[in-house]
Chain A
Amino acid sequence: MSDLPITSVPPMARPRDEAAPKRPLLPLRVSGLRLTADGTALLDGVELTLAPGGCTVIMGPNGAGKSLLLKMMHGLLVPGAGDVSWNGIPAAQATARQALVFQKPVLLRRSVAANVDFVLKSRGRDRSRRDALLREVGLLHKARQPARLLSGGEAQRLALARALATDPEVLFLDEATASLDPASVLVIERIVAAARDCGTRIVFVTHDVGQARRMADEVVFLHRGRVAEHSPADVFFPEPRSQAARDYLAGRIVL
């Protein structure tokens, strides 16, 4: 067998895309990311590399650009300058291999089960997985209920089930537990941790320092649209290097 490049193989002899091993999505390289609005730099030259595996928590004061960065990494926002590179995979393909859970869950005006069915169907996945997903997030008993009657915590769990239904290689969570009660927060954290243990790369934006301590393998601290610090969690929390991060962890106002 000669070592011919793949392009020289006749098309009919090539394995089908879905049968072929996928190129890994990670590492992610973010370089020189900028976004300005009305002359104000919202993101100002963000440089970041995310390696495969684990949970990265993005922290920072309000207006630091956390959600913007998350949405740019996921491909929902186009940067003014700079580049988001998912291991050389085209942006649209990369987005399809990720999922994002928003701070405010956007639920379809359908039943709980139909919300999950919708995602499974749109991704061509087997709908028989729906009950397992709902069981995983503790909503199987509410499968027939209208989704918009769920409580805040339940709605977020459903959003999480929908995200997991896409089998994401990277799961983004944008302050997904903000405004939830402590019990709901822990349930969400347990589900996310289980996904991480199964190999899903987690990128979690949160203001909750306690949650960040529980979840993070590494922390990216944003300040004024820049990465002020990017460290392993066991380094960041005991000894933050930047003054802004020290002030933030101490509960002082960070300007």
Chain B
Amino acid sequence: MQSIGEAFHLALSLVLSGEADLYEIVGLSLRVSLSATVLACGIGLPIGALIAVSRFRGRGLVLIVMNALMGLPPVVVGLLVYLYLSRSGPLGFLGLLYTPGAMIFAQTILIVPIVAALSRQLLEDLHAEYAEQFRSLCLTRWQSVATLLWDGRYALLTVGLAGFGRAVAEVGAVIIVGGNIDHLTRVMTTAIALETSKGDLPLALALGIILLVLALGVNAGVQALRMTAARQAHV
């Protein structure tokens, strides 16, 4: 318990000290995870919407696989991305290994299934409401997808949040493909893992507290946006 109190104190002093190293780690964490979230939304949302409006043979199987992929182990994703990005791998020519780009790549793969599966569920409910109107207006499948994504945009923020939460909290993938290199690929989670292994528990806890506060801040921002939208009856 003593170390928790100490950690809070240390976290506060770290933030107040304005230490450049800390802000660099925080900044990189946000950059990597937000980039991965944006990319995953760009890929996962249309997939989710398309599956929501489509009926085809084997759809049930696709849903099972998609839901199962939500639980992809980060270390497995990290390992696969490592194999692809390593010098002898098929994407080795990109020279991305041990760069923030590789971390974004890995996190994107990790959270695309989450975004696709959750958005599919959400947009399927919305589609149930709109389907007859869409058919009456003779909309094409892509017009339906675009309309669902636009009309569900505020609700989909929650899906983006779930993806961001998964990305910012994972350590397995980024440590494998990023390597936790100081001033280059060190993010909050890898720094926490490192400090824990070094036995500096108060510092690890302090970083954890900062990470939690960051996640809370992003959540609060999105929630505020949703509430504004709800007041305008767009949700």
Interface positions of B (Cβ within 8 A of A) = 129-130, 132-133, 135-139, 143, 147, 151-152, 154, 232-235
Contact = CB atoms under 8 A, between A and B. Distances in A.
A109 B123 CA distance: 13
A109 B143 contact: no
A96 B130 CA distance: 17
B234 A146 contact: yes
Interface of A: 71, 74-76, 92, 95-96, 99-100, 102, 106, 108-110, 118-119, 122-123, 146-149, 166
A102 B143 contact: no
A79 to B, nearest CB: 16
Contacts of B234: 109-110, 146, 148
A99 B136 CA distance: 7
Contacts of A146: 232-234
A102 B138 contact: no
Q: Which of A74, A102, A123, A146 gathers the greatest number of chain B CB atoms within 10 Å?
A: A146
7 contacts: A92-B138, A95-B138, A100-B132, A106-B130, A106-B132, A119-B137, A146-B234
A224 to B, nearest CB: 25
B132 A76 contact: yes
Contact of A109 (B133, B139, B235): B235
Contacts of B137: 119, 122-123, 166
B147 A95 contact: no
B136 to A, nearest CB: 5
B147 A102 contact: no
A76 B137 CA distance: 10
Contacts of A74: 136
Contact of B233 (A92, A100, A148): A148
Contacts of A92: 138
A96 B140 CA distance: 12
A123 B147 CA distance: 14
Contact of B143 (A95, A122, A166): A122
A118 B151 CA distance: 12
A127 to B, nearest CB: 16
B151 A109 contact: yes
B228 to A, nearest CB: 12
Contacts of B130: 106, 108
A99 B137 CA distance: 7
A147 B235 CA distance: 11
A163 to B, nearest CB: 9
A109 to B, nearest CB: 4
